[in-house]
Amino acid sequence: MTIAPLPAGLRVRTREVEDPGRLLDLLPDDRGPLSWVRGSDGLVGWGEVARFTAAGPHRFAAADEWWRAFTDRLEVLDEVGRPGTGAVAFASFTFSDRSLGSVLVVPRVVVGRRAGQAWITEFGAGDAPPPVRSVIPVRPSGTLRYGDGLLPVDRYRGAVAEAVRRMRAGELEKAALAHDLLAVGERPLDARFLLGGLARRYPTCWAFAVDGLVGATPELLLRRSGDVVSSRVLAGTIWPGEDADLDDALLTSAKDRWEHALAVDSLTDALRRYCTELVAPQAPSTLTLHNVSHLASDVSGRLDATSPATLLQLAEAVHPTAAVGGTPRDLAVSLIAELEGMDRGRYAGPVGWVDAAGDGELGIALRCAQLDGCTARLFAGCGIVADSDPDTEVREAAAKLLAVREALEAADQG
């Protein structure tokens, strides 16, 4: 693990401010913008006070321990006093415990808004004045060329076919397989351009950016607010052109309903030991987005008040759910590593924010790209069960990749 050195005498202050306008428009430059925004609400941040990175099976516990120790050392003046105020860290964890790159980033400035109330949180050391904030205009992507990633489409189709064969042989029930695609620009890509395009097209999703991973996820892994925990589970997908009545086709699809039930069960089974109450709907609803529709279930619970788990402790318990891992979990994760043969990095891992009280929100990093200079590595995946058809799953992944491709290529984001 790596811990950035901390300045002495850190102070943090949160104060209410007038409506700051569109949150994403506040991000001053492309040097590590931080975001967790849905519609008009959420958090954005810039600058960096501290950073923690970790890897391995205990990365969530290590991050939680570091974050508690960090916040215990702060001098805090919080004039707003709600989740997301005071000290906040943006978080992004790898899908696999064998991958490097799980990170907590503590920004120097955070601006937030929820239910019509807006605030700003600023870190400082001693009596030094805050640095001058200069804004660099957002740069469009320009001309892009696409190329194969580590797992091209033809090999992805083969991986799906092999997974289906093993499921039909009774080895496991589900595995969520993904592949990647590279987009290369003529100049370094501006994370704010992709972030803004995704937020405009998917206002009901959470537009996120943490350490170069940029996306818009429709799936809320966990929200913790005091003793209340909630989640939005998505599994089962259809896209325009596949059926005239998308909602009806999804709700009556035995394959999609089965895949969805596995995802809900995996989440509730993992959360149950932390909760005194836990409620999941008996049947899913549908969530319609710009490019696809999903089966969705909103799960809620009340944490055991005698020893309430923090957001990061809960994340360690539930990740990966069957929505992005599979069933049984260990067999599915092993199969993913074998058949994909690539490092997913932080794709399909938890991403979001956490505050000093252990409250916060974590989504699953879907519909996203890892930006590195002129290159964006795009990811998309599908839940594979015994009834899956490899060609259909390839088309589903392409429909999901369209979200990031359109936002990267857009010329109308003024």
List residues with catalytic annotation.
174, 219
Query: Helix, strand, or coil here: 317?
Result: helix
What is the separation of C-alpha 59 from the centre of its chain, rounded to a whole number of angstroms? 16
Q: Are 300 and 230 in contact (CB under 8 A)?
A: yes
Contact at 8 Å (CB) between 42 and 35? yes
- The answer to whether the beta carbons of residues 340 and 99 sit under 8 Å apart is no
Helices 59-72 and 311-318: angle between axes, nearest 10 degrees: 180
Q: For residue 218, say if its preceding peptide bond is cis, omega within 30 degrees of 0.
A: no
Residue 137, number of CB atoms within 10 A of its CB: 8
Cα 122 to Cα 389: distance, rounded to the nearest angstrom: 51
Q: Exposed e or buried b for every residue in 201-217, given b needs 16+ CB within 10 A?
A: bbeebbbbbbbbbbbbb
Paired with 77 in beta bridges are 13
Q: Containing H/E element for 351?
A: strand 350-355
Instruction: State how beta strands 50-54 and 75-78 pair.
Output: unpaired
193, 33 Cβ separation under 8 angstroms: no
